[in-house]
Amino acid sequence: MTSRLIVSDLDGTLLGSDHQLHDNTIEVLRALVSQGHHVALASGRHYNDMRVFRDQLDIPAYLISTNGAYIHAPDGTLLSATHLEPAYVETLIQLPRPPQVRLNLYRESGWYIDADAPHLLSLHASTGFRYEVVPQAAMDADGVGKVLYIGDPAALAQLECQAQEAHGRSLHITYSTIDSLEIMAGGVNKGVALTALLEKLKLTPAECLAFGDNLNDTEMLNLAGEAQVMNNAHPELFDRVSNAERIGHHGEAAVARWLAKRFAL
């Protein structure tokens, strides 16, 4: 049997509509690992947020967090970390934005936000991951894996243009949802992290199966030999990923159903 690397995004892909793992998903991934396959979770979420799902799966899963800024081994060892230049972070912190747009920093130590936003915590209800409110003027620009703006899409589009004008060539700018603008260091994305992980496992892209639903999955899906895009995916993703198969809805555990059929479980 040829071992494969199965890598999946979380929200909108592997997780259900309640942002939790379906029992069938847990069962299928455990069965695949028992057959000698490898599993990785790849998300814009913070490592401290993602590791709860790894623990629930109870398998030796690699974690690609913060859109590729960090890679952790199954035992929690940090394999790589790529931070934004502090000067670029300072610029991004100071960009003018409407008061309703929340500024977030994802650091190795946790999640900083510029003002209280309780509605954002529903996404993390099952993991208990929470932000720390830090006023903009007190935010530390060192050790930042991602700058995240959350708010009105029109306002985010303006921020994206301003970030591009300021440091565009040195940044990787993407969206995880229509109201979440995510900015990492240039060259940081899920695809680059996946390339490093494949090299570590001595596997080729052809031996990788990837699942995703949003624009921050583009590079990962284009790299994988078998790319699956969720039926609920961002409409633009289907145009950005070549040779992808459209599968079911994340709310129906479509990844698990597809894998069970693909590997005849």
Structure tokens at 20: 């939790």
Contact 72, 63 (CB under 8 A): yes
- What residue type is assigned to position 128 of the chain? G
The yes-or-no answer on residue 9 being catalytic is: yes
Distance CA 77, CA 202 (A): 19
Q: Which of 9, 11, 49, 114 is catalytic?
A: 9
Q: Is the dihedral of CA 14, 19, 22, 26 positive or negative?
A: positive
DSSP structural state of residue 13: I
State both tokens at 43: 């998300």
Burial class (CB in 10 A: 0-12, 13-18, 19+), 20: middle
> What beta strand segments (E) does the chain contain?
5-8, 38-42, 62-65, 70-72, 78-81, 102-107, 110-113, 131-133, 144-150, 171-177, 180-185, 208-212, 226-229, 245-246
Catalytic residues: 9
